[in-house]
Amino acid sequence: MKIKITNIEISSTMFLLFFSCTLGLAPFISIKISGIDSYFSVLFGSILGLLPLCIILYLFNYQIDKPINEKNKIIFGKTVGTIINYLTIPFLFILGITYLFNLGNFVISQYLTNTPLLIIIIVISLTSLFIANKGIKVITKTSSIYSIIIIIVFLIAVLGISKEIKLDSLKPILEFGLKKPLIAGLVNTLSFTSPIYTILFIPKKEIENNTKTKKYFIITYLISMIIIFTIAIVTSSILGKYLLQTYQYPVYITLKRISLFNFIDRIENFLSFQWILSGITVIAMTIYSVSKNIKNKESKLINFIITILMIILSYLLFKNNTSFNEYLYTIYPYLLLPIPIIYVIIFIGAVIKKNINNSIILKIKHIILLQ
């Protein structure tokens, strides 16, 4: 008998996919755009993020026994559905490559400063490959463990740093108006929701007690947004307007100030380690999703080829940290844009297909009743 995924496990995976962007990608982009008002961009992003959440919930409940790559073929037909599946592959690759380089860059800049970047990228990639090869059950199971640790450490961190929070540092509020925070909010939405679409490669039927999955997803989204918003407020208020824009990893720098009861220090290491694991989860889910799009069953060979390509591309595309930062700020948000657009098209197609099917069923019932 196949072991099913629990609601806690899949919700934890969703939480990690959200949390993975908090230490590097989303803060860097939103701070670059909106500065000290970056916490407003998180708030706007959280509201905008309800739209992709609704799309994911709808598609998740459509043809519950199939992953999204098979649903596309049902909605659009085999040929068009296959084309749509292949269209998503480059953007999933971009997602995986960006997270891979960002993780590697973080590790060598903050911890293993004398280690070649390529070595770190290879280690992270092979770890992600190992998890992806173990299957979706292992990915979700490990996610539930990581998520519990993250939430506990997060609560300790907030408690330990609460005395240093200076809300006056957030003033003047919206100094340059709403335009920049709104733009950053849109970018944030793209940043922290793009990995979530990989959840759709898990058929709802594989989830135990799946009638409650919708509720778990909504609760997970709210918890994730509260944590991300808290991180943004705390980071902005402690570092202030000028220091905030100085660091590439402002959240990590903020966490280094934590001291609880004068004997609990270095909590940032625990949280950054969990952040690295959440990033590995994103890469593992990316490998799993790309593999599913290429061949609709688990294939270790395809997973290996995908991983090798990610290693090569992540190392060759970004010459250094400066070029990567420029890419994050100027190109990355636009490269992510097609992901929600593709899924909006799939969503519209699913709604139309369902209405047509319902209409046909009603007509058949009407004919039967007349007879």
pLDDT, tens digit (0-9, with 9 covering 90-100), for 24-57? 566 666 666 666 667 777 777 778 788 888 888 8
Domain extents for the chain?
Answer: 7-370
Taking alpha carbons only, the member of 11, 269, 274, 271 closest to residue 155 is 271
Cβ contacts of residue 225 below 8 Å, gap of 6+? 18, 42, 46, 49
What is the domain class of 7-370 according to CATH? mainly alpha
What count of residues does the chain have? Answer: 371
- What is the pTM for the complete model shown? 0.85
Q: What is the mean pLDDT of residues 325-344?
A: 81
Q: Is residue 292 helix, strand or coil?
A: helix
Concatenating the DSSP letter of every residue in 39-88 gives: HHHHHHHHHHTHHHHHHHHHHHTSSTTS-HHHHHHHHH-HHHHHHHHHHH
Mean pLDDT to the nearest integer, 240-253: 71
Check pLDDT > 70 for residue 262: no
What pLDDT is stored for residue 168 in this prediction? 72
Q: What is the mean pLDDT of residues 325-337?
A: 78
Neighbours of 106 (CB within 10 A): 20
pLDDT average, residue stretch 147-169: 77
What is the per-residue pLDDT across 61-115, written as a single tens digit (0 to 9) for each? 888 788 888 888 888 888 888 888 898 888 888 888 988 888 888 888 878 888 8
On average, the pLDDT of the chain sits at 79
pLDDT at position 190: 64
DSSP sequence for 218-273: HHHHHHHHHHHHHHHHHHHHHHHHHHHTT-S-HHHHHHTT--BTTTB--HHHHHHH
For the chain, what percent of residues have pLDDT higher than 90? 6
pLDDT exceeds 90 at position 167: no
State phi, psi for 149 to the nearest 5 degrees.
-65, -45
**If you average pLDDT over residues 183-196, what whole number do you get?**
69
- Structure confidence by residue, pLDDT tens digits, 109-139: 878 888 888 899 999 999 999 998 988 888 8
Question: Could you tell me the pLDDT band of residue 370, with boundaries at 50, 70 and 90?
Answer: low
